[in-house]
Amino acid sequence: MALKGNLKDFGITQLLNLINLARKTGTLYLEGPEGTAFLCFKEGKLVYATSGSEDVNLPTVLQRAGKLTAEQARVVQANMAGRSDRDMAMMLIQAGHIQQQDVVQSVRQYVLGLVYRIFSWNEGTFRFEPAQLPIQGKMVTSIALENVIMEGSRRLKEWERLQDELPSLDVSLKFAEKPTTPLRDINLTVEEWRVISFVNPRNTIQQIAQYNSMTEFQIRKIVYGLLQAGIVEIIKPARPAATEAPGRSQRVEDQVRVSTKARRPDVKRGLIHRLIDRIREL
Partner 1 sequence: MQTLKIVVTGPFASGKTEFIQSVSEIDVVSTDRRISSQAERIKDATTVAMDFGRITIDEELILYLFGTPGQRRFNFMWEILSEGMLGFVVLVDSTRPETFREAQRILETFRNYSPVPYIVAANKQDLGDAWPADDLKIVLKVESGIKVVPCVAQNRESVKQVLLELLYSILEVMDQQEE
| Interface ranges with partner 1 (CB under 8 A) | 1-6, 8-10, 14, 17-18, 21-22, 167-168, 170-171, 204, 236-237, 239, 258-259, 261-265, 267, 269, 271-276, 278-280, 282
What's the chain look like in SS3? Answer: CCEEEECCCCCHHHHHHHHHHCCCCEEEEEEECCEEEEEEEECCEEEEEEECCCCCCHHHHHHHCCCCCHHHHHHHHHHCCCCCHHHHHHHHHHCCCCCHHHHHHHHHHHHHHHHHHHCCCCCCEEEEEECCCCCCCCCCCCEEHHHHHHHHHHHCCHHHHHHHHCCCCCCEEEECCCCCCCHHHCCCCHHHHHHHCCCCCCCEHHHHHHHCCCCHHHHHHHHHHHHHCCCEEEECCCCCCCCCCCCCCHHHHHHHHHHHCCCCCCCCHHHHHHHHHHHHHC
- Is the CB of 88 or the CB of 256 nearer to partner 1? 256
- Is the CB of 17 or the CB of 105 nearer to partner 1? 17
* In the complex, least distance from residue 10 CB atom to partner 1, rounded to whole angstroms: 4
* In the complex, least distance from residue 153 CB atom to partner 1, rounded to whole angstroms: 15
- Is the CB of 241 or the CB of 276 nearer to partner 1? 276
- Is the CB of 184 or the CB of 268 nearer to partner 1? 268
- Is the CB of 70 or the CB of 267 nearer to partner 1? 267
* In the complex, least distance from residue 146 CB atom to partner 1, rounded to whole angstroms: 14
* In the complex, least distance from residue 165 CB atom to partner 1, rounded to whole angstroms: 12
* In the complex, least distance from residue 166 CB atom to partner 1, rounded to whole angstroms: 11
